[in-house]
């Protein structure tokens, strides 16, 4: 029976597929692992170690019960993912995990598993030599430093010996630092990119070629500028695979593009080289003052310009908004309603989200604003007509839970580079 189990879920699938690829490429034999989405299978196998990866919003799900059952059976539990990085003490002390992986996991996970194996799956002082861990040793909380993987492309995006596939992470890190977002603090402010030859090689395994990146049009650049030559080189290099029958989806699920990168020249590339005729952008608010307050850098005019260009080139815009932002007034919400109406009148789709304070972000301790009656009526009416999608309704309750959690268990978050500055 395998001694180590990987608790896969729909949400952590992509992260684990990449980590399994990294483990395998460093010499770890994946046949030693039980990799499953079926928790009962893990219980039956009685593994010595179980790997988890989750977001903060998942801590109220089945996770607590699973941890309890596994702890009763004596398993050592390891947590990775955004919650463990932003709230390691909560992860260990409250959720009951034994080890939290802090940072980019490719190297640290390999070192952790091989060290644990040698120590018969006990926490020993050998773990102090591995950067990227938090755990208790002799009753003391220990943090060994943030694990960074500058050249993440040293590791393949998926394993060879196990039939698992996910969209390929082609870029990592983001320089924009939007105050509600965890990405820059966990993946760094400088964008790094997987080389084109690798992307082409690994894309062969996909029928629909899809990619993970914070901003698909920033491929090849440090992140804040457009490198059209590099973007074009990537898309061109994927054309032989399209000719073999694969479809190329770029700038749409599971990634998106920033509005100011939507230009005639980027859209022309998609028209020539990609199969999607939908493009996802984040507008977030219809009020320039709110965009400035959340450090989005772009303005409303960039969103409108992006949508006009998309329509001109035959793309259906999919536009994200966040409602209930900190210090958002009724007037700000009116401006967002106006922009949403305008998007819908142009044939675009709106996705509405309620503001959720995430640990490890500058806005972690900010309070959401209540939705005005006008906003509630508008969202309800448009959702009923199928013009707006998104789960803002459920997110209101989730947002309350997040606030209570952060108030009660606040801890200074770990960060890839700069400290996370609270701006509330
Ligand atoms: S929301 Fe997007 S653009 Fe803003 S920091 Fe996060 S990844 Fe970057």
Domain residue ranges in the chain: 4-143, 167-409
Chain position carrying tokens 């309620």:
354
Does the beta carbon of 177 lie inside 6 Å of ligand 1? yes
Q: What percent of the chain has pLDDT over 70?
A: 100
Distance 174 CA to ligand 1 centre (A): 6
Count other Cβ atoms within 10 Å, centred on residue 283.
27
Q: What is the mean pLDDT of residues 70-82?
A: 97
The Cα angle at residue 218 between residues 188 and 276, in degrees rounded to 5: 125
User: What is the pLDDT, as a whole number, of residue 1?
Assistant: 81
Does the beta carbon of 173 lie inside 6 Å of ligand 1? no
Q: What is the mean pLDDT of residues 117-142?
A: 97
Distance 189 CA to ligand 1 centre (A): 10
Does the beta carbon of 213 lie inside 6 Å of ligand 1? no
Distance 23 CA to ligand 1 centre (A): 28
Does the beta carbon of 174 lie inside 6 Å of ligand 1? yes
Work out which ligand 1 atom sits closest to the CA atom of 184.
5
Q: Is 137 in a helix, a strand, or coil?
A: strand
* E-strand stretches of 243-327: 247-248, 278-284, 316-323
Distance 181 CA to ligand 1 centre (A): 6
Q: What percent of the chain has pLDDT over 90?
A: 95
For the 167-409 domain, the top CATH level (class) is alpha beta
* E-strand stretches of 301-342: 316-323
**For 178-237, how does the pLDDT look when each residue is reduced to its tens digit (9 = 90+)?**
999 999 999 999 999 999 999 999 999 999 999 999 999 999 999 999 999 999 999 999
Q: Ligand 1, atom 3: nearest CA belongs to which residue?
A: 176
Does the beta carbon of 181 lie inside 6 Å of ligand 1? yes
Greater model confidence, 393 or 353: 353
Q: What DSSP designation does 225 have?
A: S
**For 277-296, how does the pLDDT look when each residue is reduced to its tens digit (9 = 90+)?**
999 999 999 999 999 999 99
User: What is the pLDDT, as a whole number, of residue 412?
Assistant: 85
Distance 35 CA to ligand 1 centre (A): 31
Q: How many helices and strands (H and E) does the chain possess?
A: 16, 17
Work out which ligand 1 atom sits closest to the CA atom of 256.
2
Name the CATH topology of 4-143: Rossmann fold (3.40.50)
Dist CA 309 CA 271 (whole Å) = 12
Cis peptide before 91 (omega within 30 of 0): no
CA dihedral 104, 108, 113, 116 (to 10 degrees): -130
């Amino acid at each position: 029976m395998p001694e180590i189990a990987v608790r896969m879920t729909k949400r952590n699938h992509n992260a684990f597929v990449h980590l399994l690829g990294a483990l395998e490429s460093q010499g770890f034999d994946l046949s030693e692992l039980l990799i499953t989405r079926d928790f009962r299978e893990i219980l039956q196998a009685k593994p010595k170690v179980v790997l988890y990866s989750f977001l903060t919003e998942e801590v109220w799900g089945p996770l607590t019960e699973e941890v309890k059952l596994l702890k009763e059976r004596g398993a050592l539990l390891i947590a990775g993912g955004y919650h463990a990085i932003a709230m390691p003490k909560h992860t260990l002390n409250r959720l009951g995990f034994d080890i939290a992986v802090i940072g980019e996991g490719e190297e640290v996970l390999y070192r952790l598993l091989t060290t644990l194996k040698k120590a018969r799956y006990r926490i020993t002082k050998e773990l102090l030599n591995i950067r990227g861990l938090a755990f208790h040793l002799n009753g003391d909380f220990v943090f060994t430093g943030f694990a960074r993987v500058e050249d993440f492309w040293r590791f393949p995006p998926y394993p060879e010996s196990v039939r698992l596939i996910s969209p390929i992470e082609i870029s990592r890190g983001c320089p924009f630092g939007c105050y509600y977002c965890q990405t820059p603090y966990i993946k760094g402010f400088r964008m790094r990119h997987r080389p084109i030859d690798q992307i082409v090689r690994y894309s062969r395994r996909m029928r629909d070629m899809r990619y993970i990146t914070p901003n698909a049009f920033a491929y090849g650049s440090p992140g804040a500028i457009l490198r059209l030559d590099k973007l074009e080189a990537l898309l061109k290099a994927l054309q032989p695979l399209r000719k073999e029958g694969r479809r190329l989806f770029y700038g749409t699920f599971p990634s998106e593009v920033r509005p100011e990168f939507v230009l005639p020249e980027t859209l022309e590339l998609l028209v020539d080289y990609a199969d999607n005729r939908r493009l996802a952008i984040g507008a977030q608010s219809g009020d320039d003052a709110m965009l400035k307050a959340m450090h989005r850098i772009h303005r409303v005019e960039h969103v409108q310009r992006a949508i006009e260009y998309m329509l001109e080139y035959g793309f259906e815009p999919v536009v994200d908004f966040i409602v209930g932002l900190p210090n958002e007034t009724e007037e700000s919400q009116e401006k967002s309603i106006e922009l949403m109406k305008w998007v819908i009148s142009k044939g675009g789709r709106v996705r509405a989200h309620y503001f959720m304070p995430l640990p490890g972000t500058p806005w972690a301790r900010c309070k959401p604003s209540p939705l005005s009656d006008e906003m509630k009526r508008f969202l309800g009416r448009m959702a009923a007509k199928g013009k707006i999608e998104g789960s803002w309704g459920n997110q209101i309750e989730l947002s309350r839970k997040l606030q209570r959690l952060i108030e009660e268990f606040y801890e200074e978050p770990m960060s890839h580079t700069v400290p996370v500055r609270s701006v509330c």
